[in-house]
Amino acid sequence: MATSEKGNKECEKETQSTEMLENIQALKKLFLSVSAEKEEINKDNQQKFDELSERLKSIEASISKIQKSNEETQKPKDDSKKESINESLVPTDNTTNGLSESEKRFKLKHVFKNVNKFEDDKQNFSEWEDHFNVNSRMCVARRNNHLGFYVQCEPVVPTDIWSIQTKIELKIVQKNRKDVIETMNYCYEKIIGHGFPEFLEWEQLEKEYIVEGNLTVEAHVSIIQTTGLGKEKNRLFDESQKDVSDVVMVVRGIKFFVSKMFLASQSSVFKALLLGSFSESKQSEVSLNGIDPDDFHFFLEVLYGESAINDANVEGMTLLADMYDSPTAIRRCEEFLLKESKKKLVKKLDIAIRYHLEKLKKKCMSEIVILEDQAVVPKHAYR
């Protein structure tokens, strides 16, 4: 009996030892698995951190530009200088150049990974980005021992007939090298990328611009004019309004029949232009350069009390409201972004910063949290 009990105890010890060994081996596997996952997470977090840093740099640049503009605006002015200040906003020669070409400008930037391993004729894309009701992304490919570099633009909301007239500057960026730059003017009328199939020789790309397998590219896009992207128009500003108007605003050949006094009451810039001492105040037609006629139509609708703002045009509306210093339009754009817009949180924050929409900025900041991995996410993502 004693021998049997002793044998059972030894058997139990052996079983326990075996189980302990199995547990140790399992723990080792788990540790190795966790270590591998941790390393992968760190790499992913670093990428997210890099992307966030780039985004913050872009926002900081916008803030810096805004602050500089504010400082210039807030400099002491005396009556003798008022005329010259207005002239800078409202040039003579029957034309306002609020923009040199177009303020509908944005930058796409992306770091392509493992570029050395790119397969021939295989397209590699950046993320889609929504700017001014246009979806845009970049594409690079290895073709015929060259880097092909393209930009694709298309409407955010699909439509049958549309066009997007653009001016685009493409760049390969490297700290220790001179940027490689090409420019193009192109009108997108169908879903297709456009660019340069032989942007740079692949051998030179590998030697001078690929760093640790990564390639940084940028596209600086100016949207000159769009057609077919807006909502249905609610109000007419054509010749049918001629009998109740006393001035015609001309935008890219399209005439808008409006009231001087009404526009002046809605905008300090129009007040200076149409009722001031400028030659335009005596003209029956005034040309406005560098803006989109569809945007201007909806901007006028907003001023005249129509519910013209939606997610397709709110960015363009806010731009014009800010450009022409129209408090009513600015307020309505901000209210729409606060209460109705379905745009992403980051996009709303970008608009708020660029156009001084303090209520919107405060709301966006209250809805943002920064995780340990430095990713910016809406608070409601945790609910």
Give pLDDT, residue 159: 81
Each residue's pLDDT tens digit, 108-121? 999 999 999 999 99
Give pLDDT, residue 65: 46
Report how far Cα 378 is from the mean position of its chain's Cα atoms: 18
Judge whether 233 and 310 are in contact, CB under 8 Å. Answer: no
Tokens of 151: 């930009």
pLDDT at 378 over 60: no
3-state secondary structure labels for all residues of 16-76: HHHHHHHHHHHHHHHHHHHHHHHHHHHHHHHHHHHHHHHHHHHHHHHHHHHHHHHHHHHCC
Each residue's pLDDT tens digit, 228-283? 876 678 888 989 989 889 999 999 889 999 999 999 999 999 998 888 766 666 77
Least confident interval from 27-41, 164-178, 227-241, 245-259: 27-41
Give the mean pLDDT of the chain. Answer: 77
User: pLDDT confidence of 198, banded at 50, 70, 90?
Assistant: very high
- The letter for the amino acid at 11 is C
Give pLDDT, residue 373: 44
Give pLDDT, residue 99: 38
CA distances from 196 to 29, 100, 137 (A): 50, 26, 15
More confident residue, 333 or 233: 333
Helix (H, G, I), strand (E, B) or coil at 147: strand
Least confident interval from 131-135, 298-302, 367-371, 372-376: 372-376
* Count of alpha carbons within 13 angstroms of residue 197, beta-carbon side: 5
- 111 bridge partner residues: 216
User: pLDDT confidence of 58, banded at 50, 70, 90?
Assistant: low
pLDDT at 149 over 90: yes
More confident residue, 19 or 147: 147
Reported in sequence order, the residue ranges of 144-279 that DSSP labels E, i.e. its strands, are 146-155, 163-173, 180-188, 193-201, 215-227, 247-251, 254-258
Buried b (16+ CB within 10 A) or exposed e, 37-50: eeeeeeeeeeeeee
Helix (H, G, I), strand (E, B) or coil at 346: helix
Each residue's pLDDT tens digit, 66-110? 444 444 444 444 443 333 323 334 433 334 444 344 578 999 999
Judge whether 149 and 195 are in contact, CB under 8 Å. Answer: yes
**Distance between CA atoms of residues 2 and 265, nearest Å:** 108
Percent of the chain with pLDDT over 90: 46
Give pLDDT, residue 289: 85
Topology of domain 113-227, CATH: 2.60.210
Q: What is the mean pLDDT of residues 295-315?
A: 91
Strands 146-155 and 134-143, sheet pairing: antiparallel
Smallest CA-to-CA distance from 355 within 316, 318, 381, 300 is with: 318
Q: At what angle do helices 327-339 and 345-354 cross, to 10 degrees?
A: 160
More confident residue, 189 or 64: 189
pLDDT at 327 over 70: yes
Percent of the chain with pLDDT over 70: 67
Helix (H, G, I), strand (E, B) or coil at 368: strand
pTM: 0.62
**Distance between CA atoms of residues 6 and 239, nearest Å:** 110
Least confident interval from 54-58, 59-63, 204-208, 273-277: 59-63
Tokens of 25: 């081996």
More confident residue, 268 or 64: 268
The residue extents of the domains of the chain are: 86-100+231-382, 113-227
User: pLDDT confidence of 9, banded at 50, 70, 90?
Assistant: low
Q: What is the mean pLDDT of residues 128-153?
A: 94
Q: What is the mean pLDDT of residues 348-369?
A: 89
CATH code of the domain occupying 86-100+231-382: 3.30.710.10
